[in-house]
């Protein structure tokens, strides 16, 4: 349909996905196999993804995105996600696994948002905290609905605003205290200088 082709020009823009170098500051590859974590190399931003021939490409891209959201990668059947509640999940396909364009769009948007900030560890944890409520132990993360990932992203974004506002408030309070301390020291110094000057003038 038209929607499958609506992003045909996206490949001209370059990828907004994080680089391998940035990802590997958050994700630890604890694997006996040689793993190349670089979702931008697997990104599917154009073409008809509804064809069966696209399935292996969609699966590879989906797995790259899911590893980008993890903390530790061992293999497709053991990937760890660290939030308040840790998840040990698998990202291997099951017989009923169907990966839609909407699923890929939502999960890639989540990865892009998380890694768009200077310290991705905070939004990543907020996202995984919500994901832990959606995940059924023993199932594949590939089978989580795109709407569930949307909920994770929305809640993580809202919670992140709150965290940043609180940090900003704490920072302002801290600055206030520092300025207050500096003013106290300066006032004492000025008073001491005035007293010394006065003593000096009297002794002339």
Give the DSSP letter string of 53-117: GGHHHHHHHHHHHHHHT-SEEEETTEEEE-SSS-EEEB-S--TT----HHHHHHHHHHHHHHTTS
**Cα 101 from Cα 183, distance rounded (Å):** 59
Q: Which residues contact 40 (CB under 8 A, 6 or more apart)?
A: 15, 17, 19
Task: Count CB atoms within 10 A of the CB of residue 68.
Answer: 27
Residue 128: the pLDDT is: 93
Strands of the sheet with 28-29, listed across from one edge: 28-29, 72-75, 78-81, 87-89
- Compute the residue count for the chain: 204
Percent above pLDDT 90 for the chain? 33
Residue 7 pLDDT level (bands cut at 50, 70, 90) = very low
Mean pLDDT taken over the chain: 80
Q: What is the pTM of this model?
A: 0.73
3-class DSSP state of 40? helix
The pLDDT of 62-71, averaged and rounded, is 94
Q: What are the φ/ψ torsions at residue 41 (nearest 5 degrees)?
A: -75, -15
* Highest mean predicted confidence (pLDDT) among 32-36, 38-42, 113-117, 194-198: 113-117
User: Which tokens go with 118?
Assistant: 């200077």
Number of Cβ within a 10 Å radius of residue 61: 23
User: Domain coordinates of the chain in residue numbers?
Assistant: 2-168
What pLDDT digit, counting tens, does each position of 145-199 carry? 999 999 999 999 989 988 887 776 665 676 677 667 666 777 777 777 777 777 7
């Amino acid at each position: 349909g038209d929607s499958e082709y609506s992003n045909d020009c996206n490949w001209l823009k370059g990828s907004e996905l994080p680089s391998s170098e940035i990802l590997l500051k958050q994700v630890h590859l604890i694997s006996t196999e040689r793993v190349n974590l670089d979702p931008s190399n697997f990104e599917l931003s154009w073409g008809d993804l509804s064809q069966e021939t696209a399935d292996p490409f969609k699966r590879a891209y989906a797995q790259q995105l899911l590893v980008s959201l993890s903390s530790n990668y061992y293999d497709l059947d053991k990937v760890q996600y660290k939030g308040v509640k840790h998840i040990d999940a698998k990202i291997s396909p099951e017989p009923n696994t169907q990966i839609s364009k909407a699923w890929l769009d939502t999960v890639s948007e989540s990865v892009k948002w998380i890694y768009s900030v200077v310290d991705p560890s905070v939004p990543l944890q907020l996202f995984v905290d919500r994901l832990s409520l959606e995940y059924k132990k023993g199932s594949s993360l590939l089978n989580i609905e795109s709407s569930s990932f949307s909920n994770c992203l929305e809640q993580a974004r809202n919670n992140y605003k709150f965290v940043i506002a609180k940090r900003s408030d704490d920072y302002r309070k801290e600055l206030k205290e520092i300025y207050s301390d500096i003013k106290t020291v300066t006032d004492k110094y000025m008073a001491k200088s005035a007293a010394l000057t006065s003593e000096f003038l009297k002794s002339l």
